[in-house]
Amino acid sequence: MYYPCETPIPEDRAKVVEIYGSSISGNMQIKDRQQRLESILNSRKIPFEFVDIAADEKARNYMKRKNLNKTTELPQIFVDGEFRGIFQDFEEAHEAEQLNKFLYDE
């Protein structure tokens, strides 16, 4: 759901949002969370890139290194290469209408 009280980030200040996930996970919870994350970002017109760690070992190692090995839970959200959190963090920010703050520190 789009919250009009939370204005989109102007394009000239856009940052790269990356979703680290898996295209071949047999875990339905991971698949559902990835789909929900993508749906929310698409509905808010927030551009993002999906990084498939199942197909890219370097990406998987990068993800682990950048989140300081805090978690292997998927999906994980990064903005401009900085670990922002896991799905639960994203969902809480969305529910609290604080998605821009979560993603962009605004």
| pLDDT at residue 4 greater than cutoff 70 | no
Residue 83 lies in a domain: yes
Separation of alpha carbons 69 and 72, rounded Å: 7
Residue 6 lies in a domain: no
Question: How much is the pTM?
Answer: 0.82
Residue 1 lies in a domain: no
Residue 3 lies in a domain: no
Residue 4 lies in a domain: no
Question: pLDDT at position 15, please?
Answer: 82
Residue 2 lies in a domain: no
Q: What is the pLDDT of residues 40-49, one digit of tens each?
A: 999 999 999 9
Full DSSP string of 12-62: GG---EEEEE-SS---HHHHHHHHHHHHHHHHTT--EEEEETTT-HHHHHH
Number of structural domains in the chain = 1
Residue 99 lies in a domain: yes
Range of the domain at 86: 17-104
Mean pLDDT of all residues in 13-33: 89
Question: pLDDT at position 14, please?
Answer: 63
Q: What's the CATH number where 60 sits?
A: 3.40.30.10
